[in-house]
Structure 1
Amino acid sequence: MKLEQLINKLLFTHIIGDVDVEVAGIHNDSRAIKDNDMFVCTKGAKENGHDYIPQAIANGAKIIVIQDKQEQYVEGITYILVPDTGKAASIMVDEFYGSPTHQLKLIGVTGTNGKTTTTNLIEHILTYHQHKTGVIGTIEIRYPGYQEEAKLTTPLCYELQRYFYNMKQADVDYAVMEVSSHSLDLGRVHGCRFKTAVFTNLTQDHLDYHVTMEAYGEAKGLLFAQLGNDYEQASYAVLNSDDPWSERYARKTSAQIITYGLGEDALVRATNINITAAGTSFTLTTPLGELELSTKLIGKFNVYNLLAAISAVIPEGLSLDQIKEAIEGVEGVPGRFEAVQQGQPFAVVVDYAHTPDSLENVLRTAQQLEPRKLICVVGCGGDRDRTKRPLMANIAIEMADHVYFTSDNPRTEDPIAILADMTNHLTAEHYTTNVDRKLAIEDAINEAQAGDIIVIAGKGHENYQIIGTVKSHFDDKEIARDQLIARGYTQS
């Protein structure tokens, strides 16, 4: 593609060199550069892409996108100076792949908790009714004929638009994606056209990056600010009416608004909620009518996830009976209140809960099942928001009968220091600390008796642990299952 076409939608560019050149590919990693590629110099927390310009040119780059003026410019290389290389890259990559989201029905889900479950529910409902659907999220990227483990909740624009392009080539109708606050703040989805944007909730997380809840909430709101409502395609904002941030987001968009929640003011709402160990049932009320709904998903937080998913698919022309039929066949989402069953007389549940709010939701759901004793295994990630550590510890201590505080992904932090952040202020005594997560899980299972519930929180679907900079295989479910077998429970 000609460079002149790629930069056509960019404002305030200063070009040094020739624009009548072919662009073979676009990358922000100098190691991936090949002949006639464009290299985008992005600035990160630890790396500055401008430092890698010589390497990119040596590897064959002919176009360099910069936001810092250079002291010297290499002859024969075209430089494009822009105010923000991240946003410029999103626009150019979208153009490079032929604006694939203009040919897909794109549904984005943002919020602190519930993104993965809501995204999977939307995909399940659409797929159940024969719509070819792709998913981009925390667990994986998948569409018919393709599956790949995810590296980021929302990929960089270079990979993201390629996934959308490949989905379109595979005749996918819908793309459903998790949209993180980081991706919104950094402009990764700047070139995407969303048909529907869904907001789950906003609670404390990622303050290591955003610093304040205000900045975090405003970043989430960018999704709704870019959600248009034009003549080509009607757009919809699906908002949780029980979360006060929804009022702000409603003011940011011109899209049609669908509210959901438990209150009477919600367009899509749940009443008469009943939660058991077998699942959850409730009365669903919508502008299309009312019906009784049963699901194998457990917990009030999953009622919200279901309401969000239902609200997102209503504009797609599905009847309530069709939605009900699809939902009642949902088995669950990996690592989200997922049971590990070996025939033991107590419950073992693995969940991705890694924020104060999500941990409280999961433990409250476990309490509602009326266990003899509630045991919790939990840790906090390193190199992440330190302020949530004592909050999560308080919740675990208040809600569980015995807590095993342990490591999550300590990364480059001292795991003992992370545990100290969690426990130094505690006066209660019904907890144990062990930096070895495997031993903590094994001890919890050895302690459990008939009627107990063990909640292993924090990692969920993850099959790795990061200690230092080393990523090693580690799976909470595998460790729990192995220890259950060691106790003599062998019936799967």
Structure 2
Amino acid sequence: MFNWNRVIKKFIPKLLKKFYHFALAKLAAFVYGYPSRKLIVVGITGTGGKSSTVYLLARLLEAAGWKVGATSTVFFKIGEWEKLNDKKMTMLGRFQTQKMLRQMVRTGCKAAIIETTSQGIEQFRHLDIDYNTVVLTNLYPEHIEAHGGFENYKRAKGKLFATHPKTSIVNADDANAEYFLNFPAENKIKFNLADLRDLKLDEQGIYFVWNNARFDLPLLGKFNAYNALCVLTIAKSLGLSIEEIQKAAPAMQNIPGRLEFIDEGQLFKIIVDYAYEPKAMAGLYETIKMIPHQKVIHVLGSTGGGRDKARRPILGQIVGKQADYAIITNEDPYDENPQEIIDQVTKGALLAGKKKGENLWRILDRREAIGKAISLAVAGDLILITGKGAEQAICVANEKKIPWDDRRVARELLKNNMSEEKSKYPIGSFVDLFTNEKGNRRLRAHCVLQADGAVICTGDTDVLTALDRGVSVLIDNEPRYYQPKDGAKFLLAMSAHFSNSYLFASEITQP
């Protein structure tokens, strides 16, 4: 198919490109009847946290009774209809955006929440969208090569604040806050982490008091404390009472592809996260310190298409230092050679002390890389799969997109692995449970896998009673209990649970 965009990028001078994008934006708004004028439009920009803020705000407003629309890296939403973003584009083209805004109006939406990117702004995709509220989550170096420097990047973000919104909301903890607060707005609102009293972060979530109201949210990490505070501040600015916000706040959870746990009953943890640049990666590692785990096995890559090449070895170095095992793989190469990208990330991991074939692997096929991580994991380990989150495609050469979802692939591989695990242990496989007191081993239970897939244990009555109640293994921060009816999983759980203690279990032994 003939691609006008590639021709425009290649042959049209920069000034004419700007006019082309400007004219398209004007035409799109005219064709669809300037729909944003009939909506409360909230524009979210920044470097980190944009997509999460859009998602959480949409959930909170919806729980408060508002009908909302949203566009972001994570998803598209028009009232009750929504789907994951499968475009590999955060801010849609001018005609697509205006069309969606008109659909929001026709569906009866009260508000539209738009993740507004610096590159989208440079292409006038925000033009003739009447932003009621504009928000800055934070700002730090990113997309620097595309913009030609941090100051250009900051100025691009600033153009959103130059649209004369009714309200501007800025993270006052950010070093660049004053720059954005200097743009004109009827209401200027600042938020900072000090607004949250009695802030507590743990492996279950974040807890704080804001405006004398208590909030307990199942979101992990300091960065999500900022995201939640940003959302609450926006909601208050839109006229919701503190009581309404507090009542709706429990809806703020389960962001697809953002610290998302993948659970198929395995004895180790898997987290899929979008972190693709150094600051987000460092934040992820800070967060997982709160999650009980043994080894960390990290699957990562880096995007192509000329995007911020300098960060590739930095990502490798972070993971090389923090993870026990690093598996470097393909991500979104676009027109670049994917193996060269992998090699550039690998350089950083090698500098951090990793050794190829020992605790560092380069695997071009992303599915194979995730499978390798699963094969390395044992009970209590933590696998991180980063860079894509809930994205629905891998972008390769000639603007082709291969359908993909890290979460789906991880689930498929887990199910296959667990089926293989079951077949690995034939009928008659067993685990013996001993006590070890003053050097004397005493057999307390003998547990054998039966033909029906369950386990039968014989031995001391008190031990058998306890085993019938189940054996716990810590999964996703909570004890999960496996019972004899769970077969090989129960035997594996026994081996993992009873180790280096008064009671200890053998490994699974085949007949």
Aligned to 1:253: 184
Contact 1:143–1:167 (CA<8 Å) still a contact in 2?
Answer: yes
Q: Deviation above 6 Å: which 4+ runs of structure 1?
A: 29-32
State whether structure 2 residue 197 is matched by structure 1 residue 262: no
User: Which amino acid is the alignment partner of residue 232 of structure 2?
Assistant: I
Q: Which runs of 5+ in 1 are unaligned?
A: 1-28, 33-40, 51-66, 69-81, 229-234, 264-268
User: Which amino acid is the alignment partner of residue 443 of structure 1?
Assistant: K
Relative distance call for 1:239 and 1:131 in structure 2 (3 A) is same
**SS of residue paired to 2:384:** strand
Contact 1:109–1:177 (CA<8 Å) still a contact in 2?
Answer: yes
Match of 1:355 among 269, 277, 287: 277
**SS of residue paired to 2:395:** strand
User: Which amino acid is the alignment partner of residue 434 of structure 1?
Assistant: I
Contact 2:316–2:347 (CA<8 Å) still a contact in 1?
Answer: no
How far, CA to CA, are the matches of 2:134 and 2:299 in structure 1?
34
**SS of residue paired to 2:267:** coil
Q: How far does the alpha carbon of each residue in 1:49-86 deviate from its partner, in whole angstroms, 9 at most, with x for none?
A: 99xxxxxxxxxxxxxxxx76xxxxxxxxxxxxx98232
**SS of residue paired to 1:282:** strand
How far, CA to CA, are the matches of 1:30 and 1:130 in structure 2?
45
Match of 2:198 among 272, 281, 286: 272
Aligned to 2:482: none
User: Which amino acid is the alignment partner of residue 116 of structure 2?
Assistant: V
**SS of residue paired to 1:424:** helix
**Aligned-pair distance for 1:146?**
4.1
User: Which amino acid is the alignment partner of residue 347 of structure 1?
Assistant: K
Contact 2:78–2:103 (CA<8 Å) still a contact in 1?
Answer: no
Aligned to 1:385: 308
**Aligned-pair distance for 1:483?**
2.5
State whether structure 2 residue 397 is matched by structure 1 residue 468: yes
Bigger fraction of residues in helix: 2
**Aligned-pair distance for 1:209?**
1.3
Relative distance call for 1:224 and 1:395 in structure 2 (3 A) is same
**Aligned-pair distance for 1:295?**
1.0
How far, CA to CA, are the matches of 1:49 and 1:309 in structure 2?
41
**Aligned-pair distance for 1:457?**
0.2
Q: How far does the alpha carbon of each residue in 1:353-378 deviate from its partner, in whole angstroms, 9 at most, with x for none?
A: 11111111112111222422222111
Relative distance call for 1:356 and 1:348 in structure 2 (3 A) is same
**TM-score using structure 1 length:** 0.78
State whether structure 2 residue 391 is matched by structure 1 residue 435: no
How far, CA to CA, are the matches of 1:464 and 1:399 in structure 2?
28
**TM-score using structure 2 length:** 0.75
State whether structure 2 residue 344 is matched by structure 1 residue 421: yes
How far, CA to CA, are the matches of 1:472 and 1:214 in structure 2?
35
Aligned to 1:488: 418
Q: Which runs of 5+ in 2 are unaligned?
A: 423-485, 487-511
Contact 1:442–1:479 (CA<8 Å) still a contact in 2?
Answer: no
User: Which amino acid is the alignment partner of residue 219 of structure 1?
Assistant: A
User: Which amino acid is the alignment partner of residue 337 of structure 2?
Assistant: D
Relative distance call for 1:42 and 1:400 in structure 2 (3 A) is closer
Contact 1:464–1:475 (CA<8 Å) still a contact in 2?
Answer: yes
Aligned ranges 1:95-114 → 2 under 5 Å: 95-114=30-49
**Aligned-pair distance for 1:89?**
3.0
How far, CA to CA, are the matches of 2:392 and 2:316 in structure 1?
24
How far, CA to CA, are the matches of 1:139 and 1:104 in structure 2?
21
Aligned to 2:378: 449
How far, CA to CA, are the matches of 2:237 and 2:6 in structure 1?
38
Q: How far does the alpha carbon of each residue in 1:12-65 deviate from its partner, in whole angstroms, 9 at most, with x for none?
A: xxxxxxxxxxxxxxxxx9999xxxxxxxx9984336499xxxxxxxxxxxxxxx
User: Which amino acid is the alignment partner of residue 379 of structure 1?
Assistant: G
Aligned to 2:408: 478
How far, CA to CA, are the matches of 1:364 and 1:261 in structure 2?
20
How far, CA to CA, are the matches of 1:378 and 1:391 in structure 2?
12
Over the matched positions of the two proteins, sequence identity in percent amounts to 28
Contact 2:193–2:229 (CA<8 Å) still a contact in 1?
Answer: no
How far, CA to CA, are the matches of 1:175 and 1:49 in structure 2?
34
Aligned ranges 1:189-268 → 2 under 5 Å: 189-228=126-165, 235-263=166-194
Aligned ranges 1:159-174 → 2 under 5 Å: 159-174=96-111
User: Which amino acid is the alignment partner of residue 72 of structure 2?
Assistant: G
State whether structure 2 residue 328 is matched by structure 1 residue 405: yes
Aligned to 2:427: none
Contact 2:60–2:251 (CA<8 Å) still a contact in 1?
Answer: no
